[in-house]
Amino acid sequence: MKTTFYILAVLAALASCSSYTGSRTGSSTNPASAVNDTVRIANDSLEYEIIIIEPGFYGWLATQPPRGYYTQSAMEISNNFKVTNYNLRVNNPTAYDASLYVFRIDYERNVDYGYEVNYMLYNYFLFFEQRYKQRLI
């Protein structure tokens, strides 16, 4: 079964383009902040791929607890719950911002995606909630 996480990449790209309202001044511009962060994880044996393109995500991720801090099962439980709520919001564009909830996330609870994918998805949801002031709980 081919499971893709391109949805996150498209969602992140659309959300970051439509939600940025700040302005830059020449004296306070940080060159590192102008670069889009791209995180890619792939596993050919399971045929999945997760790509997160979101300005600031990689820097934000560096401030979070390191890999190994959370167990895979704890992240899977959180991811299952948040993916379900996220997909419900995608299906209800009149009640939720359609520019944030564009595409469904194809995440199946009975598939073992491994620690790395669960870690990145878990942290992406935390980043998404903080950056866009959303609660997926």
Q: Is the pTM of this model over 0.85?
A: no
- pLDDT tens digits, one per residue of 4-27: 444 444 444 444 444 433 333 333
Q: How far apart are the first and last CA of the chain?
A: 29
The burial class, CB within 10 Å (0-12 / 13-18 / 19+), for 1 is: exposed
**How confident is the model at residue 77, as a pLDDT?**
96
- pLDDT tens digits, one per residue of 19-65: 433 333 333 334 344 455 666 666 666 667 777 778 888 899 999 99
